[in-house]
Amino acid sequence: MPHDHDHPHSHLPSDPALRVKALETLLTDKGLVDPAALDEIIDLYQNKIGPQNGAKVVAKMWADPEFHAVMLRDPMPVLRDMGLYGRQGEHMVFVENTEETHNMVVCTLCSCYPWPLLGIPPGWYKSDAYRARAVREPRKVLEEFGLTLPEGQRVRVWDSTAEVRYLVVPQRPAGTEGLSEAALAALITRDSMIGTALAKDAQT
């Protein structure tokens, strides 16, 4: 139906937005989903879960050698205790950067990502460019992120799946010996836990 732009009806959402509304209405009518539960999920991932969760865990690994050892060996019971387990049943693996090896994470299949620790992945993590190139030319991709690694440090790329998701433990910056866990956590960025950046320096 043609209409002029002064017509004072509500703004018509995009085609996919209307299809999602249709799906939601149908599934709600059938009792398969509860709108309140949907709002809760959105609020959780939009406002409550984010890289601060992962940063807290990594800071504790830096500060507490016993916790560090446990997280590298068998992190799932601890993550469950901390309420940071994946509701999709995935298994977390922490991979630690060293002088010899820099780790970075990708999902070549789709966008598998440790939601409970990092929240929803950034757009670039979901892009074809990153997903294809992280495996093929990781050093070049890292350089585009502004991260040039020493020649002697090798890059190891971990391909996350629905079952196993990786989180990079960045190297603890020098000069941070006296810092509290909270102050350490502030140095640990989302990208440093994906492996496309290093942890921030203490004095920035």
Would residue 107 show up in a list of annotated catalytic residues for this protein?
yes
192 annotated as belonging to a binding site for a ligand? no
Strand partners, 92: 165
Catalytic residue among 10, 14, 111, 192: 111
- Interface of this chain with another protein, residues 95 to 154, rule: CB under 8 A: 109-112, 119-120, 122-130, 144-146
Q: Residue 80, interface with another protein (CB under 8 A)?
A: no
Catalytic residue among 10, 14, 112, 160: 112
Would residue 180 show up in a list of annotated catalytic residues for this protein?
no
Instruction: Please state, in angstroms and rounded to a whole number, the distance separating the CA atoms of residues 127 and 131.
Output: 6
Catalytic residue among 10, 14, 107, 192: 107
- Interface of this chain with another protein, residues 171 to 200, rule: CB under 8 A: 189-191, 196-197
- Exactly one of 64, 77, 88, 154 binds another protein (CB under 8 A); which one? 88
Query: Taking CB under 8 A as the rule, which mask of x and - marks residues 4-43 in contact with another protein?
Result: ----xxxxxxx-xxxxxxxxxxxx--x-xxx--xxx-xx-
Cβ neighbours for 105, distance < 8 A, ≥ 6 positions apart: 95, 157, 158, 160, 165, 166, 167, 168, 194, 195
Return the closest-CA partner of residue 134 out of 161, 103, 162.
103
Q: How many Cβ atoms from other residues are within 10 Å of residue 148's Cβ?
A: 9
Phi, psi for residue 69 in degrees, rounded to 5 = -65, -40
Asked whether 132 and 162 are in contact (CB, 8 A), the reply is no
First to last CA, the chain: 58
Instruction: Please state, in angstroms and rounded to a whole number, the distance separating the CA atoms of residues 78 and 64.
Output: 14
- Exactly one of 64, 74, 163, 201 binds another protein (CB under 8 A); which one? 163
Binding site for another protein (CB under 8 A): 1, 3, 8-14, 16-27, 30, 32-34, 37-39, 41-42, 45-46, 50, 87-90, 109-112, 119-120, 122-130, 144-146, 161-163, 189-191, 196-197
Cite the annotated binding site for Fe(3+) by residue number: 107, 110-112
- The set of catalytic residues is 107, 110-112
